[in-house]
Amino acid sequence: MPNDFSPIDLPSDKNDQKRAGLWTSIVISTASLLLALLNAEAVADWADSLAPTIWTAPIVSTADSWRDLAAETGLSAPRDLLHRYWKKLEALHFSNQEGAEAE
């Protein structure tokens, strides 16, 4: 690790560096694609939060269409399941918290 501040040992071979960069790019691209496919609700919520302008209108329309298509085809099912469980846990946590304050 000469003269660098990396916490890991980086490959010194140029071919290994290229493979490492390619691997990292593939992982990030795959994760981004899966998030876009399986979390259309978040994309639509983000688009809805944009200020309404002539430039954001197509973004909102496309995001809403994607959310509807993902729901119809079942792509949003994993996110919906996790969201339901999270909301139940959230309600449980806050109901316990309110009860503790009342005592």
For residue 31, the enclosing domain spans 14-102
DSSP calls for 47-103: HHTS---TTTHHHHHHHHHHHHHHHHHTTTHHHHHHHHHHHHHHHHHHHHHHHHHH-
In a domain, 29, yes or no: yes
Number of domains composing the chain: 1
- pLDDT one-digit tens code per residue, 42-55: 999 999 999 999 99
pTM: 0.62
In a domain, 65, yes or no: yes
Three-class DSSP category at 36 = helix
- pLDDT one-digit tens code per residue, 57-98: 999 999 999 999 999 999 999 899 999 999 999 888 877 665
